[in-house]
A and B are shown apart, each in its own frame.
Chain A
């Protein structure tokens, strides 16, 4: 136990302040604006349901990173929820596969309105390298309405936060 406490004390707070310039540029102002937008429009709490509609798992790694202690998206009021039933936003990676089409539609229908849909990654935007074929239907907008797109393969955590900001700011 003492080791755990010591490690906690030694690590301190690693979360980056909003203003710290870093090579992963972009996070500077985003955090502050995000927090403000979420406070105003979502009473300080934005619930996101992430849906993998066919991705290669690269995008998921970066969505995980947004939750790590360095980016620590919870401080802006962002939570990832287990159910679409209380989600404000669907964060969808793709291409949408033929085999996930129905599950994605159902998830969308289970999400209460008003809902925001954000398409993540080059694949979520337009199918990416997988293109469109019998198995891959292309971007998320082929199956459900999309409000905001975050390109990148995969988009970095900073790009993800910036995209979420665009979605809640609009």
Chain B
């Protein structure tokens, strides 16, 4: 098979029906337009070529005098392929691809709920994000929708999947949980202690982020992207900025890229530290929580001292970065990393040797590799279940593209249990520490930002960035006046939440918090 596998697969199957764009930016991205009837054929062609679905979304293009657009983004290795089709304004219907790709269930429920574009043949048309008490004809992402008005509440009931039989009972949990975590609702159908089915219902923290983007300037958009999911502020901001830069042909200075890479790895370490601690805590090993929280705090304080913000919010801006590091900062960070690494290894030993902990985390919450593939999982969840995916390798921004220099070693485990998700994190922390040391040693001098040109009407931009949870995708489209017409943000949680639902049945109810923590997906990033 040739190197441009997905493009060829679609081109062979659809023939002249698939019209490919000439220019691709980034160079690993291919785009084509197909007649709407062929949208499903393209999906099947991609599936045959072992491609995975990365995202699916719709656009309202009435500002251009057209109807709607439907888009599917596929991935195979380093390649991305965007297939789009135009839909008429008066009858926006397209063939559903949910039977080909499982995550399309959620994507298409969202498209139907938020844009009112109809997936024909989608088996599950219950609203998603949009709650049952919203007016049925409220489609917030349509241009004709008045976003400033409050929504009236109507009656309506959500239809839960139900297991029935003698002794089957149901446990509803949330949206307000016992701990300090984001809101979401989970329904367990259980028999004795064993869970038969888990259904999640999300959307509680839907803030209208995608609509909000359309009211902001391109510069302010970066600030909003940094708040899609607060724990991933750096990666989301990089994702947005990279898409904007791809769209305008803007090249940030070398040094800005290196600083972005450093921020990204620091964010990864901080979150992984917190997660490992919290997972151990949910296995009743509080000692580890406090030890790991201590290390995380050390990192956050250093962020504050060096870059002026504990999470480095707003430090990534379109065209570059807004924080720098000098020689004394570098040596402080190196000393910090030495200390961190020393302390961390001691804790890892304790994790490895503790039999009662091992008993809880091994073979618990297994997401089998074939399931992970089926739901098109990404990031740590994918890598703990045998999928070798990492945008830092397959779709790198500089300096990650310097494989001779960085030679990233990405861990992949196949057991797919809680333990595997912990081991992936442990391994990644080590890798990130190593990478930051390389970045500090080789960082080029120079400016840290350039001005981004104004986007041209109708232009689009795409990016895929490996945040600490996994691949984040941004897709931007400029309107007729060069403003933001559409900003699609796909957090890793969009697909990985499905993995949690898949791994729970067969486990006991008390293990749910442990499994959930080992995924630690974002509610805000999913609900938008």
A residues sitting closer than 8 Å to B (CB atoms) are 3-4, 7-8, 11, 14, 23-24, 50-65, 67-70, 80, 82-84, 95, 97-100, 103, 107, 128-137, 153-154, 156
Contacts and interface: CB of A to CB of B under 8 A. Distances in A.
Contact of B524 (A11, A57, A137, A153): A57
A52 B231 CA distance: 14
B290 A61 contact: no
B304 interface: yes
A74 B297 CA distance: 17
Contacts of B138: 134
A97 B304 contact: no
B140 A134 contact: yes
A121 to B, nearest CB: 9
Contact of A7 (B149, B224, B291, B301): B291
Contacts of A103: 175-176, 183, 204
Chain B contact surface mostly: loop
Interface residues of B, number: 63
A154 B230 CA distance: 9
B310 interface: yes
B148 interface: yes
B212 A23 contact: no
Contact of A82 (B147, B179, B274, B305): B179
B14 interface: no
B140 A135 contact: yes
Interface in B227-255: 227-231, 233
A99 B149 CA distance: 15
A58 B176 contact: no
B435 to A, nearest CB: 23
Contacts of A8: 287
A137 B150 contact: yes
Interface in B190-234: 203-209, 211-212, 215, 220, 223-224, 227-231, 233
Contacts of B207: 54, 56, 95, 97, 130, 135-136
Contacts of B134: 98
A-B residue pairs, 3 tightest by C-beta: A58-B230, A135-B208, A82-B178
Interface in B148-189: 148-151, 175-176, 178-183
A63 B347 CA distance: 24
Nearest to A95: B207
